[in-house]
Amino acid sequence: MNSLQIKTRMCWKSIRNLVIIHIHKKGDIMEKKFDVICIGAALVDMIAKVSRYPEDDDEVFVSDLKILSGGAAANTASACSTLGLKTAFIGKLGQNDQFGKKILQDFKETSVSIDYIKYSKNYTTGSAYVALNENDKNRRIFAHSGAANYLSDGDIVQNEIDTANLIYLSSLKNINPFIQAAKIAQTKKIPLI
């Protein structure tokens, strides 16, 4: 396990502990459908290991290529669910594209509810191209947020937010959905991370 994996696992465990502490600190907390709803971006990461970064108009051999679901909110949703929390994801994917299908399949494998995902007819699911230098472990990331950037405040509805004990917000450039989620959560006294 590398240092990034160790740090990621520690972060996930911290989030799980925060959720469990919140859920169990009061005896009067009503049982809800989800322990946590994660709101934000879901992308597909293509991670290419390289021995060096190319110069202009140069080509570098890729020694290993991995295609994984990514996006901070999507990763957190999968981690929370893997750690035993009932978890849902709110975000926007391209309607019926291959990257979106991969994300949905990965959510299914980690038991993340996809009931609240929104779909765009006009934009594809986002992706990130990551060049990882094998020698110094530095990364260069080229991100295309795609449909994730078009999640709107109108996509955040009270009856969905109401089903969670805790809301996790992360990884969108457009903050309007976060503001809407925070307003709803505040009126319902649902904590935000």
Residues 6+ apart with CB under 8 A from 5: none
Per-residue confidence band for 4, with pLDDT thresholds at 50, 70 and 90: very low
Residue 125, token pair as written in the block: 């699911």
Predicted pLDDT of residue 3: 43
Q: What is the pLDDT of residues 140-177, one digit of tens each?
A: 999 999 999 999 999 999 989 999 999 999 878 889 99
CATH number of 31-188: 3.40.1190.20
- The whole-angstrom separation of Cα 176 and Cα 193 is 16
pTM (two decimals): 0.83
- CA-to-CA separations, 103 to 79, 109, 164, in angstroms, rounded: 14, 10, 22
Please tell me the chain's helix, strand, coil percentages from 3-state DSSP, rounded to the nearest 5. Answer: 35, 30, 35
Residue 177, token pair as written in the block: 């959905």
Residues 6+ apart with CB under 8 A from 104: 93, 114, 117
Q: What is the pLDDT of residues 6-20, one digit of tens each?
A: 445 555 555 655 555
Q: Tell me how crowded residue 99 is: count the other CB atoms within 10 A of its CB.
A: 21
Is-contact 103 114, C-beta < 8 A? no
Domain ranges of the chain: 31-188
